[in-house]
Amino acid sequence: MGTDELYPPDRLIAAQRATAAAGLDALLLTPGSDLRYLTGYDAHAGERLTCLVLPAEGEPTLIVPRLERPAAEASPAPATGVRIVDHVDGTDPYPLVAAALDGPVAAVGLADRMWAEQVLALRAALPDAAQRLAGEVLRELRIRKSAAEVAALAEAGRAIDEVHLRMGEWLRPGRTEAEVATDIAAAIRATGHVTVDFVIVASGPNGASPHHGTSDRPIGAGEPVVVDIGGTMPSGYRSDCTRTYLAGGSAPGDFLDYYQVLRDAQRAAVAAVRPGITGAQADAAAREPIAAAGYGEAFLHRTGHGIGLDGHEEPYLVAGNDRPLEAGMAFSIEPGIYLAGRHGARIEDIVVCTTDGVQQLNTTPTELIAL
């Protein structure tokens, strides 16, 4: 797909309209997913200021360090209609922000994850402007994916599925979690990802910790192993998929019992996805059968998170989220059961809510696979 499809110029126009509707005079976006969403520019985050100045009306300006201007010009940003202004080392770049706004402003929206030193410098440069979060505006634009974005997420899903299908090459008793993770990371890059965002290889009792990571612990025969992996594609869109494997030998008896409960719950939650159900209802579709089987306390986290240019973004499938799902929303379905000190399991797929149901972007089997 072309960058003009993935990062179309009309996004800036839509963002300007939404900025005005929110009562903001401008958005000020430093490097991160919001800047990339609007311009396609995957900017370097550093102490030198890079900032998209997007006024509610008027010409957008991308302020960059002079040494990074070639990268900005080579990105999709110029095709979106932004003007590029640079600054040299040793000069104060913050007056360029005020100049790009071309007049007094009452309120600006700052990138949600802007560095504190930049927030304070912008406060000094624009002392009369109230500071709010740009997420108030951009969340609603980003939460529903375009066809091109869904295609990019599907490409990422296929790439990470290829890695899971090769797990038998690396995961076996006697190897450490870290050794397996090293092989997985190389494979993630080999499938086309430009970065490896995370590799969790959690064997035996480590599988009871959802965010374990890896360790030098050797994997034991008959142990369940949770493998949660993801990365970023050249498009900027991300993958995230979890499968639980059995490393040879015979699995603990209760593990086999609750793994089937988990698999049924994950499939039920995927099947429940459609426009109109809430994030809380989607969460309940996974949580209720797990609780009914007696493992409710062992399901420690929400059922899912949105995904796109960020690994975690809106919408979240969690109790209390009464926002209805809509076509174009992309998110994980990833219930887990974790028995502290013993073992655990998680199954995760990325799905997209469609006009009449759900599209799964991960398609590898969810049956327990003995390697």
Q: pLDDT of 236-255, one tens digit each?
A: 999 999 999 999 878 888 99
Q: pLDDT of 112-132, one tens digit each?
A: 999 999 999 999 999 999 999
Question: Which two structure tokens, joined as six digits, stand for 162?
Answer: 């290829």
The amino acid at residue 291 is A
| Per-residue 3-state assignment (H helix, E strand, C coil) for 340-358 | CCCEEEECEEEEEECCCCE
**Cα separation, 227 vs 201, whole angstroms:** 5
**Cα separation, 327 vs 322, whole angstroms:** 16
| pLDDT at residue 67 greater than cutoff 80 | yes
Residue 103: predicted pLDDT: 83
R_g of the chain, CA atoms, integer Å = 23
Q: Do residues 118 and 92 lie in contact, with contact meaning Cβ atoms separated by under 8 Å? A: no
| pLDDT at residue 1 greater than cutoff 60 | no
**Cα separation, 85 vs 105, whole angstroms:** 20
Q: Do residues 335 and 326 lie in contact, with contact meaning Cβ atoms separated by under 8 Å? A: no
| pTM for the whole structure | 0.95
Strand locations in the chain (E)? 26-29, 51-55, 61-65, 83-87, 107-110, 130-133, 195-203, 223-232, 241-247, 304-306, 313-317, 330-333, 336-339, 343-346, 349-353, 358-360, 369-370
Residue 140: predicted pLDDT: 96
Q: What percent of the chain has pLDDT over 90?
A: 95
Strands 51-55 and 26-29: antiparallel
| pLDDT at residue 154 greater than cutoff 70 | yes
DSSP-assigned letters across all residues of 53-68: EEESSS--EEEEEGGG
Q: pLDDT of 193-230, one tens digit each?
A: 999 999 999 999 999 999 999 999 999 999 999 999 99
Residues 299-319, mean pLDDT to the nearest whole number: 98
Longest dimension (CA), the chain: 71
Q: What contacts 24+ positions apart, CB below 8 Å, involve 208-212?
A: 208/338, 208/339, 208/340, 208/341, 208/342, 208/343, 208/344, 209/338, 209/344, 210/300, 210/301, 210/336, 210/338, 210/344, 210/346
Residue 250: predicted pLDDT: 84
What is the CATH number assigned to the segment(s) 3-142?
3.40.350.10
Work out the mean pLDDT of the chain and round it to a whole number: 96
Residues 250-275, mean pLDDT to the nearest whole number: 95
Q: How confident is the model at residue 2 (pLDDT cuts 50, 70, 90)?
A: low
3-state DSSP assignment of residue 186: helix
Residue with tokens 């699995």: 251
| Domain layout of the chain by residue ranges | 3-142, 147-370
> Cα–Cα distances in Å, from 49 out to 64, 145, 208, 356?
6, 29, 42, 44
Question: Looking at domain 147-370, what is its CATH homologous superfamily?
Answer: Creatinase/methionine aminopeptidase superfamily (3.90.230.10)
Residue 347: predicted pLDDT: 98
Choose among 360, 334, 330: nearest CA to 347. 334
